[in-house]
Structure 1
Amino acid sequence: MERLSLLGLPLDPVDMRQALERVRDFLAEPRTHQVVTLNPEIAVRAQKDGALLQAIREAELVTPDGVGILWAARTLLGVELPERVTGVDLTLALLEAFPGLRVYLLGGKPGVAERAAQEVERLGGKVVGAHHGYFQEEGPVVEAVAKAGPDLLLAGLGERQEVFLHRHKPHLGARVAVGVGGTLDVLAGEARRPPLWAQRMGLEWLLRVGLDPKRWRRAPRLWAFVRLVLKEKRSGKP
């Protein structure tokens, strides 16, 4: 599948099945492959963050995470992407598709990764390590991940997750590393996903922002994404 270019960022036009096929190939290779689930917020940040831009451009797989990305691809490229491939959906699909997958959980408040580990084990994964996301020194964390040698590293480190994974990719020792945002909170039972109807309609982000005051500060980036897409549309550039 030919990689697309959207707002100066790479985007792989994959559905969930195709994403799983790509990950299966990654698992067979003895090096770390980074997966970015691209959403509007990340796209906006990457316009001014050079390290994030480089991380996305050098990722082995960039999936469309969010209805906004589907809309932007249709508006700017005339491409109808088949579906969203979000961090939480990809995580659940990987655990189902590859039973016994060796998983390391990195992120969340102290205790969250450990509680998420219980759910990963219930879903068929084998947890080989867990660490919270409130760390200052990156070296010891990277060493711990490498020592565990996971097949899959799930990093829920907020805004720093993509750059962290990219910076340490040669030393992580994982076959696949995915920035999964709040997925660990969902697995741990700390956060609930919106109703299925909202997920199917692509309104998950809207409900999250509207119902959680902590997310209100993120809303301006969503409107900035809309303005960015419309500006590119007027200029005739993808």
Structure 2
Amino acid sequence: MRLQVLGLPLDPVDMEEALRRIQGFLQEAKTHQVVTLNPEIAVRAREDEALRRAILEAELVTPDGVGILWAVRRLHGVALKERVTGVDLTLALLQGFPGLRVYLLGGKPGVAERAAREAERLGATVVGHHHGYFREEGPVVEAIRRAAPDLLLVGMGERQETFIHRHKAALGARVAVGVGGTLDVLAGEAKRPPLWAQRLGLEWLLRVGLDPRRWRRAPRLWRFLYMVLREGR
């Protein structure tokens, strides 16, 4: 049963259940959008109607981030088992579904290509890839449609959820997931924080603290905290 976090839907799934649902999506001839919800996305959705609509209409919304786990516990008294992050979900799909037809979209030129090689090493069948630095969306959507992937991984930051939602009917993929910086991780462009930080849910804190480019995003985390506390009165 879906929960609500700041007016947004959340499926209280762990990794095992998320994979089971996606396995079902792969059997259906339409595109299913998966959103990995974190505090930053939740805050942006308050001001971005297109993003809010994409989340509301997504077939699966997973808890990505320790802040989401905390919010669910405070607002609903429910202790979720674990986070289901974009990178963890991607790795689980690539390794758990050998031969899965995958298209990778996003990153700087060259990143998706290197990520594709790693995806193939993990067991996927890569049917296409494209960088995220494009202006005209039509040709990219058409390339994806022609490739007809089982799984479309979109790593385009703040554009990814709305891109998937806007072109959902034309993509031709069974499942489309916004995966943030996952393509950079697969390509070796970025390293994940230490395992202890991942287990404690501090991955986001280390990423923000160590990357000055992310500092402008930190206020959204504090705003998320404030909004949850206000809603939970």
- Asked if these proteins are the same fold (TM beyond 0.5), I'd say yes
Partner of residue 109, structure 1: 108
Partner of residue 190, structure 1: 189
> Letter of the aligned partner of 2:82 in structure 1?
E
Shift of 1:233: 1.3
* CA–CA distance in structure 2, aligned partners of residues 28 and 170 of structure 1: 17
* CA–CA distance in structure 1, aligned partners of residues 213 and 189 of structure 2: 14
Partner of residue 118, structure 2: 119
Aligned to 2:109, the other structure's residue is in SS state coil
Aligned to 2:95, the other structure's residue is in SS state helix
Mapping for residues 1-238 of structure 1, pairs under 5 Å: 2-234=1-233
* CA–CA distance in structure 2, aligned partners of residues 212 and 160 of structure 1: 20
TM-score normalised according to structure 1 size: 0.97
> Letter of the aligned partner of 1:146 in structure 2?
R
Which aligned runs of 4 or more in structure 1 are off by greater than 2 angstroms? none
TM-score normalised according to structure 2 size: 0.99
> Letter of the aligned partner of 2:194 in structure 1?
P
Aligned to 1:172, the other structure's residue is in SS state coil
Structure 2, gaps ≥5 residues long:
none
Give percent identity, aligned residues only: 79
> Letter of the aligned partner of 2:207 in structure 1?
R
* CA–CA distance in structure 1, aligned partners of residues 100 and 78 of structure 2: 34
Query: Could you give the per-residue CA deviations for residues 92-129 of structure 1, whole angstroms, max 9, x where no partner exists?
Result: 00011100000000000000000000100000001100
Structure 1, gaps ≥5 residues long:
none
Aligned to 1:170, the other structure's residue is in SS state coil
* CA–CA distance in structure 1, aligned partners of residues 35 and 184 of structure 2: 18
> Letter of the aligned partner of 1:220 in structure 2?
P
Shift of 1:224: 0.8
* CA–CA distance in structure 2, aligned partners of residues 179 and 90 of structure 1: 11
* CA–CA distance in structure 2, aligned partners of residues 133 and 231 of structure 1: 37
